[in-house]
Amino acid sequence: MLDRYTGMKVFVQAASHASLSAAGRTLGMSAAMATKHVDALEARLGVKLLHRTTRRLTLTDAGTDYLAASRRILQELDEAEAEVAAQRIEAVGRLRMNLPLSFGTRFIAPLLPEFSRRYPNVEVELGLSDAQQDLIQGGWDMAIRIGHLTDSALKTRRLGNCPMQICAAPSYLARHGTPRRVAELSAHNCLSYTLSPLQGRGTWGFGPAGDIQVPVQGNLKANNGDALLVAALGGQGVIYQPNFIVADALASGTLVALELDQPALDLGGLHVLFPPDRRPPAKVRAMIDYLVETLSSACGEKPPAD
């Protein structure tokens, strides 16, 4: 099927050179193919654009009007293509990032001022939510995910580790005692994260694969780790959260890490995900490289290999 865009290009070249043969040579096609394109264009429009004889090619009145419109449209298309192509080379435009709420607020937002200084032509839009979002359907350019990744067509890059910590406030432990074995957690007030596949079902997993499952109960559940942190700081109970949620509290002593007989589960690390484009836009590449550089060092790790 002959496309309208090529037909318009052939028509403009034919009008400019007063020759279908010259238009074909300019566009790398035969004179017969150039003629077919103009014929198809005239049939689609229902008007004659060119008067054609063996010796001359001239514009009709409709052709004169259509030539001006075609030149304008082709110029706009060329400019649009050039603008999009430039985004492969230069970091420009809006960058939409989907992030976990607490992690995005604590770690990503503080990094953005320096990113903006480096890439002033990139406008960043953050979507902060602990609920999993579909990257493609939601129109996101990239996302950060914590945990083991399910198989998908998305490209990924590992940014670092994300260890789990189980802890409680000194005031809670003074009242209820300090558990030494994971089995003892069943007798404690355990504050659970509802978006976790295990914690949301009333069990906490231990061991690298989380296959040691301990039934727990508590008087608070939440879909956000910071809400659980605040409760734990107030002495309400025990929490089992990623290190980035509780690291400051552990460092200050307002929370105490519990030393149990089983290791915490391996959460699966921190990853950036982006659509499977062979050549992602420069704005996406710039942000990924920036996160590898700054986020890994902030976590006290060497930047992971690509």
Q: Please name each of the domains of the chain with its CATH number.
A: 4-89 (1.10.10.10), 93-162+268-298 (3.40.190.10), 164-257 (3.40.190.10)
Describe the strand order of the beta sheet including 256-257 as a list of residue ranges.
221-222, 190-193, 238-242, 164-168, 256-257
Give Cα 159 distance to the centre of its chain.
Answer: 14
Cα–Cα dist 134/241, whole Å? 24
What are the beta bridge partners of residue 221? 192
Q: Taking Cα atoms as reference points, which of 165, 164, 167, 204 lies closest to residue 182? A: 204
Q: What pLDDT digit, counting tens, does each position of 210-251 carry?
A: 889 999 999 999 999 999 999 999 999 999 999 989 999 999
Judge contact between 268 and 189, C-beta under 8 A: no
Burial class (CB in 10 A: 0-12, 13-18, 19+), 94: exposed
* Dihedral (CA of 131, 134, 135, 140) sign: negative
Look at residue 175 in the predicted model and tell me its pLDDT.
Answer: 97
Look at residue 302 in the predicted model and tell me its pLDDT.
Answer: 45
Look at residue 300 in the predicted model and tell me its pLDDT.
Answer: 43
Tokens of 30: 């035969």
Judge contact between 2 and 37, C-beta under 8 A: yes
Judge contact between 39 and 46, C-beta under 8 A: no
Cα–Cα dist 22/27, whole Å? 9
Which residues of the chain fall short of a pLDDT of 70?
A: 1-2, 79, 82-89, 151, 278, 296-306
Q: What is the pTM of this model?
A: 0.64
Residues 6+ positions from 184 with CB-CB distance below 8 Å:
none
Cα–Cα dist 229/240, whole Å? 10
